């Protein structure tokens, strides 16, 4: 098929960017053709047209205007697509054939730089994952908009890689062919990441200085791959990229994916949003940089007591002076996003308004320093003195950038008067041209004595001095040059008028062009300050998080925790920070948590809805808050440093992988048992409820015994298996506690108070009554419960039949065939045929619906 040269050019370029939408520049539009056009028209909801491309059929086509393309690109990026920007790289007037075009930038979810495509309070990470020959992993991730990059080695398997990716704002991941397909599926389906492949293995020379300090070759090579992807896709150098920071996972508390999800650290489980999470409670930051820093600290709680105490000491210093803290918050509110501004300066998409905001931000730094010194705290004063307001940059920007500069850098009016002599002359000529001409005319009349002399202008000859024939003898021939002869007059030009003519006529055009050049030069000068700006941004974001901790602690009556070398846990009147805030005017019932050195396991019994899960979660959240350097919701808190937290809370099926509640439960429990140490915290809520009663009880007891004998981690284990409470009699490290509930006039009242000892009863029927189940059902359940408790012979007749319908044991062999074949009810036969362990929850629900329908038909 013979396409036109332009379409052939398009196809040739598209072949190199098969996984991208190719925005092909044609005049004032970005056009797309063939399958790109069909898909883009659908995703962007724009008109699909067609054009003649030289083939037998018309080619599908759609396009977006160049000047408004940013919003269309944003839409595609937000949906996980990539966009290759293909521009004309030569003047169409200078060529007779097809204009040369090249891809000048590849925009992907992980390489976004435009402000309206970024969440100001979230990082936007691009990651790379590589596996070594010994099946360990290297994970590097970078935020192009801020220039920060991190790399880590993962020796504990793929699950740890996923946990590191989860709940961190990574939008795109680069892989090679060493990763297994099931892992790629998990990245795309469960984590919903855009997957890209390594494009270029050769490293740009500029990369070496950013990675040469990394001693591990595997980590250095992985970091280089990440940087090379940035250079290859963005087609430019980056002065704002920082040296890679090597993260030693052993230096931070480890939280696996299920723990981050179950504890609702950054997002709530129900709404999948910030509201209702620990981050929501703690975020009283006033800068975008501070909000991002807070999230990083939450992702990586500290393990070194010295570092934790340093943060706590600073928080206490800020907390103790309300007026100074209020002044600090007010000063911080004027700080622009210095991190991303540095990236925009380096990337080349900064505008004059951005630079003016940079100046305003830097001008606020002395006020921030002054407010910090108001705290009269030696460490705060010491750190505040290390802040550099960069006065030379403030002076440069103050002299150069106009306060009301437009967003566009090609329309002029961005450079101040007095900054550049030539620009001032252009502006003077443009603004005062007529006045200058009038003044020159008067000057020449006086010099020549020709009172009728006048200066005029036309498009052909430009500016001229006109003298009537009667006065030609007064013309100074040494200065005047004849320009044009008229019937009654002569027109002349002088060297001075020639110079001014050029200045006046070209002033508008030249001033705009010169302003653009001056702005580019200014941007290059600002680039030299990027390291100083980044250091300042890092310090300002630290103070923003610290004042946020102090503000939250002051508002909510949090206290400074104490850390001990022993493994003793003592919380007086502890509260759940999120539940307490959500309750607002209602009073949260506080509870003590006591776990001596020799008491590792708390067995928690009590009715549903009584607060067992809240009690367990609040301990974990208080530990995390303490280890990021924040005060905690207690009256008093003494804690050890925990290295890991594991949770098995909730009963949500893994619908994506088709795993049942019980399988998810066992996988999460196994992960805790395999990874936990005696310095860890394990939270297990109702383990074993997803299978038959006896299986569940056996598993629950075996897990408690295993933790007691082999791990000795601090463990909170809630259960409805009251038989397990006897373990406290057998094992010294096990202690029974329960949530108080009282029955009053046939109604149960949950007191939400934790007391020592085991619960007397479960109050399950009372909970069902609270949930609004029909009275008839509640009355029948009460009768059945009484029969079971009294072992009523009338009820035991049906026991064997009930047990035959009980869920198949998870560990049982295949059931033996019945000795005697009895004609069974069709519905019962169908139930016996079902293999529940191999069904997804949705399949089970469909089968149940079908069985119910048949039962109703038979009854009818």
Binding residues for ATP: 606-613
Query: What does the chain come to in residues?
Result: 860
SS3 content of the chain, % helix, strand, coil (to 5): 45, 20, 35
Determine which helix (DSSP H) or strand (DSSP E) holds 484, and give its type and residue range: strand 481-485
Q: Are 152 and 164 in contact (CB under 8 A)?
A: yes
What span, in angstroms and rounded, lies between the C-alpha atoms of 249 and 156? 11
The count of other CB atoms within 10 Å of the CB of residue 217 is 9
Q: Which residues contact 589 (CB under 8 A, 6 or more apart)?
A: 611, 751, 752, 753
CA atoms of 460 and 423, how far apart (whole Å): 26
Q: How many CA atoms lie within 13 A of 566 on its CB side?
A: 11
Contact 764, 753 (CB under 8 A): no
Residues 6+ positions from 221 with CB-CB distance below 8 Å: 130, 138
Rounded Cα gap, residues 51 and 605, in angstroms: 73
Q: Is 793 exposed, middle or buried (0-12, 13-18, 19+ CB in 10 A)?
A: exposed
Q: Are strands 194-197 and 170-175 parallel, antiparallel or unpaired?
A: parallel
Neighbours of 386 (CB within 10 A): 10
Helices 338-347, 495-527: inter-axial angle, 10-degree rounding: 130
Q: Which residues carry a binding-site annotation? A: 606-613
Residue-wise DSSP of 675-741: H--TT-EEEEESTTTTS-HHHHHHHHHHHHHHIIIII--EEEEE-S-GGGGGHHHH-TTEEEEEEEE
Q: Distance between CA atoms of 446 and 440, rounded to whole angstroms?
A: 10
Element (H, E) at 490: strand 489-493
Angle formed by the axes of helices 288-299 and 530-556, nearest 10°: 70
Query: What is the number of other CB atoms lying within 10 angstroms of the CB of residue 814?
Result: 6
Cα–Cα distance, 629 to 308 (Å, whole number): 5
With a CB cutoff of 8 Å and minimum separation 6, the contacts of 251 are 302, 303, 304
Quick check: 294 and 548 in contact, CB under 8 A? yes
Among 350, 352, 347, CA closest to 411: 352
Please give the Cα distance from 767 to 610 (Å, whole number).
9
């Amino acid at each position: 098929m013979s396409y036109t040269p332009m379409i052939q050019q398009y196809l040739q370029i598209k072949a190199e960017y098969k996984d991208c939408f190719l925005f092909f520049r044609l005049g004032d539009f970005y056009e797309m053709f063939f399958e790109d056009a069909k898909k883009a028209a659908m995703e962007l909801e724009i008109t699909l047209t067609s054009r003649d491309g030289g083939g037998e059929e018309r080619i599908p086509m759609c396009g977006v205007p160049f000047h408004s393309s940013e919003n269309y690109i944003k839409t595609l990026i937000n949906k996980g697509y990539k966009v290759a920007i293909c521009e004309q790289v030569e003047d169409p007037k200078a060529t007779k054939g097809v204009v040369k075009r090249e891809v000048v930038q590849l925009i992907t979810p992980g390489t976004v730089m435009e402000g309206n495509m970024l969440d100001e309070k979230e990082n936007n990470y691009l990651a790379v994952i590589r596996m070594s020959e010994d099946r360990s992993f290297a994970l590097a991730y970078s935020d192009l908009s801020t220039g920060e990059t991190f790399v880590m080695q993962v020796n504990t398997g793929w699950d740890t890689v996923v946990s590191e990716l989860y709940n961190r704002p990574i939008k795109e991941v680069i892989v090679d062919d060493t990763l297994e397909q099931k892992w790629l599926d998990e990245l795309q389906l469960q984590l919903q990441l855009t997957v890209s492949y390594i494009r270029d293995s050769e490293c740009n020379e500029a990369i070496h200085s950013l990675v040469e300090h990394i001693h591990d070759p595997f980590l250095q090579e992985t970091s280089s791959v990440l940087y090379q992807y940035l250079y290859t896709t963005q087609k430019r150098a980056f002065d704002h990229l920082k040296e890679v920071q090597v993260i030693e996972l052993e230096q931070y508390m480890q939280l696996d994916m299920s723990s981050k999800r179950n504890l609702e650290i950054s997002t709530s489980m129900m709404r999948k949003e910030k509201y209702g999470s620990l981050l929501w409670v703690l975020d009283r930051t006033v800068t975008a940089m501070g909000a991002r820093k807070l999230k990083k600290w939450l992702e990586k709680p500290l393990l070194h007591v010295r570092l934790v105490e340093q943060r706590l000491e600073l928080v206490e210093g800020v907390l103790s002076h309300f007026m100074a803290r209020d002044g600090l918050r007010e000063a911080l509110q004027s700080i622009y996003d210095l991190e991303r501004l540095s990236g925009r300066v380096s990337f080349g998409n900064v505008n004059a308004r951005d630079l003016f905001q940079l100046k305003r931000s830097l001008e606020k730094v002395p006020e921030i320093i002054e407010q910090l010194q108001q705290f009269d705290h030696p460490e705060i004063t010491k750190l505040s003195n290390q802040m550099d307001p960069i006065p030379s940059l403030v002076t440069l920007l103050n002299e150069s950038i106009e306060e009301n500069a437009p967003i566009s850098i090609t329309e002029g009016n961005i450079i101040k008067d007095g900054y550049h002599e030539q620009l001032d002359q252009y502006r003077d000529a443009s603004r005062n041209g007529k006045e200058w001409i009038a003044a020159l005319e008067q000057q020449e009349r006086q010099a020549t004595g020709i009172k009728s002399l006048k200066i005029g202008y036309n498009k052909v000859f430009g500016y001229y001095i006109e003298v009537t024939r009667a006065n030609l003898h007064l013309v100074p021939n040494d200065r005047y040059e004849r320009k044009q002869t008229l019937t009654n007059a002569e027109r002349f030009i002088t060297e001075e008028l020639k110079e001014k003519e050029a200045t006046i006529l070209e002033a508008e055009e030249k001033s705009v062009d010169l302003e653009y050049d001056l702005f580019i030069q200014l941007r290059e000068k600002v680039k030299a300050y990027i390291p100083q700006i980044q250091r300042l941004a890092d310090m300002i974001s630290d103070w923003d998080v610290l004042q946020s901790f102090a503000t939250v602690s002051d508002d909510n009556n949090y206290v400074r925790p104490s850390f001990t070398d022993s493994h003793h846990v003592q919380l007086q009147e502890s509260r759940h920070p999120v539940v307490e805030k959500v309750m607002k005017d209602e009073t949260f019932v506080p509870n003590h948590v006591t776990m001596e050195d020799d008491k590792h396991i708390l067995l928690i019994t009590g009715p549903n809805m009584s607060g067992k899960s809240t009690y367990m979660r609040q301990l974990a959240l208080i530990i995390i808050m303490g280890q990021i350097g924040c005060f905690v919701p207690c009256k008093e808190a003494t804690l050890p440093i925990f290295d890991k937290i594991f949770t098995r809370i909730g009963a949500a099926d893994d619908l994506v992988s088709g795993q049942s509640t019980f399988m998810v439960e066992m996988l999460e429990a196994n992960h805790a048992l395999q990874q936990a140490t005696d310095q860890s915290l394990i939270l297990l809520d109702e383990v074993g409820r997803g299978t038959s009663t006896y299986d569940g009880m056996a598993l629950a007891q075996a897990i408690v015994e295993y933790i007691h004998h082999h791990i000795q981690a601090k463990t909170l284990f809630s259960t409805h298996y009251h038989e397990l409470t006897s373990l406290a009699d057998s094992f010294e490290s096990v202690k029974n506690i329960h949530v108080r509930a009282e029955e009053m006039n046939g109604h149960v009242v949950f007191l939400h108070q934790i007391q020592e000892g085991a619960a007397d009863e479960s109050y399950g029927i009372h909970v069902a009554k609270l949930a609004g189940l029909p009275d008839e059902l509640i009355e029948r359940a009460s009768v059945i419960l009484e029969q079971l408790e009294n072992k009523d012979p009338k009820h035991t007749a049906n026991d064997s039949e009930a047990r035959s319908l009980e869920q198949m044991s998870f560990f049982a062999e295949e059931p033996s065939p019945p000795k005697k074949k009895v004609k069974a009810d069709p519905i019962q036969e169908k139930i016996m045929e079902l293999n529940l362990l191999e069904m997804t929850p949705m399949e089970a629900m469909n089968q149940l619906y079908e069985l119910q329908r048949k039962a109703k038909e038979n009854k009818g």
